[in-house]
Structures are given as structure tokens and as C-alpha cells.
Amino acid sequence: MVYLLGIESSCDETAAAVAAFDGERKTVLADVVASQVDIHKKYGGVVPEIASRAHTEALTRITKQALAESGIALSQLTAVAVTNTPGLIGALLTGVNFAKSLAFANALPLVPVDHIKAHIAAAYYAFPDLKPPFLALTVSGGHTSLMKVDSFTDFVTVGCTRDDAAGEAFDKVGRVMGLPYPGGKEMDRLAAIGDPHAFPFPSAAVAGDNLDFSFSGVKTAVINTLNTMSQKGIPFPTADIAASFTNTFTRSIVKKLDMAFDRYPLDTLVVSGGVAANSHLRRAVKELCDRKGIRLCMPPIALCGDNGAMVCSQGYYEYRTGKRGDTSLNAFANDEF
């Protein structure tokens, strides 16, 4: 049996989890997430310096809590896995330095984990028979990427955003409409009661034979529409704006996924990351997969946002391939993709 402690601090969630691995059987024993949303709310976005400080304050407490809830003692752990890329550099460093100290003080192997790969690996808990190769769409507050997952540890980026991340666009539109931060969840709720065809916003699917996205154009179009309304004293039709933006977003994603499956003969899709909690995206992607005969694997909503269990899951495969960090392990704002 392999017992892993997973540490995550790449953005505004401090997370620690303990999971047990027995061959392909994986069990989350404890998964503790300390969200900083209330701290960053008043600034309308994540303030990196404040995030780093809050991680430093929370890491010891939530790790102790995760270990206590799991019933696994530090001495029983097989290794410590930690997110070291991509993310906010200061935030990442707090988790990396904490994990380093814990690992080396307790003579445990340290396993560096890529945050995007971890988001994808969250799906293995819900779908125990899921195995590469497959395509994976990761949509979160900081990242939007389409990857060909060739093995548990080999990934090739086949498409990505050329500017803003999907969640960033949701949150910025939400902020201009005065929705509570982060706006994604409230945009989801409003979109269900609005008219998706009220505003013809531009597509986020980059034209041509590529699998890339660009969210800055649609984001700017929505914000310009809102500013014009504001100048004319017209109250924001928040539900219609949310529904139209979401419609453009889901159609753009579905278009590129459709192209991706024509290009790569794979039969499985994993959709992960915070924005994968979006109910409209989940429905649209399911329709596409049903139409194309593709198996769809989406982690449960609780495992879509940042968490430590996903770090354990990817950490397990990295551990098995022998990937290790030593005392010189660094953090990187951008990953190798």
C-alpha cells in the first residue's frame, strides 16, 4: 500500500490530502481545502502577495488536519507530493518549501507534481478503469488547455488559450456585472434563467485549423456592452449576459473538441479544472460525446476545483515512475508545456 500526502498552494486554495493507493485502487482518506476566497473578495481577484501569506499561515494547520482525519501517521506515509508548477510563483513556493521541510525532516521521498496534470488525474478517483490514452480538456481560473494524455505521465498539449484563461473570463465578466467573486459559479446559475441568444458575442474558438482558444475578444465584447449600458443608464440584464457569454463559451469549447476528436482517433475525454463545474459546459460536452460515441469522464464537482487529492493522484503515478525532488526543488510559474 502506498500512502501519499498531497500539498496544493498554486493559487488561492491551500489544500492537503492523504490518499491510499493499492495497485490501481485509489482511496481518498482525507481532503482538506482552506479557501482564501473571502480574503480576496474585497479586491475582486487574487492578490498574489496576500495569497502567499495566507498559504503560509494555513499550511501547517490543514496538513495536521488532513493527517488526523486520515488516521495515517506521518511515519506511515510513503511520500509527500507537492504542486510545483504552474501557478503564482510566491504561492507555489510556500507549498514547495513546506513539503520539502516535511519530507526531508521525516526522511520521506518528495514528488513534484504539475497542477494541470493533477486536475486531470482527479478523474481517476471517479473512474477507476480510466486509462490513457485519452484527450483532456482542463479549464480553470488560470489555465485552458487541451492535451493528449499518452500515458499516466506523458502529456502533449494540442491546444490552449492564446490569452485569458476560461475561468478568468468568467470572473472578469462577473466582476463588471457586480457579481460576488469569483463570478463563475453565479454566472452558471444566472445563465440557466437567461436567453443564450440575447447577445451575439464573438467566438472564443480561434479560426483555422488549430485547437486554440482566445477568451480576451469575447470578454472585451461583453465588457464593452456592459459599459455602453452603464453610460446610458440601462440596468444590466445579468441573466441574458451570463447566458449569452456561457453559450459562446460552450459552443467554442465544443467546436474545438469536435475538431480534436476528428484529428486524434481517441475514444475518451476527461474534462477537469474549476470551470468543469459549469453545468452548461457539462451538458454541452456530454451531448458532443454522445453524438460522437466518446466516453466522457468528468471528476465530481468537489474534485474540479483545486484540492490536495488530485495532487496525490498524479503524485502516485509520478512516484511510480521514479520522479523525485531534492532539497533544490524549485517552483515555476509556467509549466513545460
Contact footprint for ligand KG4 (CB under 6 A): 11, 140-142, 167, 170-171, 182-185, 187-188, 273-275, 277-278, 305-306
CB of 307 to Zn ion, least distance (A): 9
**Residue 171, binding choice from ligand KG4, Zn ion, none, Cβ under 5 to 8 Å by partner class:** ligand KG4
Q: Based on C-alpha coordinates, what's the Rg of the chain? A: 20
**Residue 325, binding choice from ligand KG4, Zn ion, none, Cβ under 5 to 8 Å by partner class:** none
Which residue minimizes CB distance to ligand KG4?
Answer: 274
Tracing cell 504542486 back to the chain, one arrives at 83
* E strand map for the chain: 2-8, 13-22, 25-35, 79-85, 110-114, 134-139, 144-151, 154-160, 268-272, 295-297
**Residue 20, binding choice from Zn ion, ligand KG4, none, Cβ under 5 to 8 Å by partner class:** none
CB of 274 to ligand KG4, least distance (A): 2
Closer by beta carbon to ligand KG4, 109 or else 274: 274
| 161's grid cell | 488559450
CB of 62 to ligand KG4, least distance (A): 16
CA triplet 165, 126, 138: central angle to 5 degrees? 10
| DSSP helix/strand/coil, 255 | helix
CB of 112 to ligand KG4, least distance (A): 17
Under 8 Å between Cβ of 279 and 163: no
Closer by beta carbon to ligand KG4, 51 or else 294: 51
Looking only at the bridges linking them, the beta strands covering 13-22 and 25-35 are: antiparallel
**Residue 182, binding choice from Zn ion, ligand KG4, none, Cβ under 5 to 8 Å by partner class:** ligand KG4
**Residue 277, binding choice from Zn ion, ligand KG4, none, Cβ under 5 to 8 Å by partner class:** ligand KG4
Under 8 Å between Cβ of 308 and 7: yes
Closer by beta carbon to Zn ion, 167 or else 237: 167
Closer by beta carbon to ligand KG4, 299 or else 325: 299
| 268's grid cell | 475518451
CA triplet 296, 298, 304: central angle to 5 degrees? 165
**Residue 185, binding choice from Zn ion, ligand KG4, none, Cβ under 5 to 8 Å by partner class:** ligand KG4
Tracing cell 502567499 back to the chain, one arrives at 52
Q: Which residues bind Zn ion (CB under 5 A)?
A: 140, 306
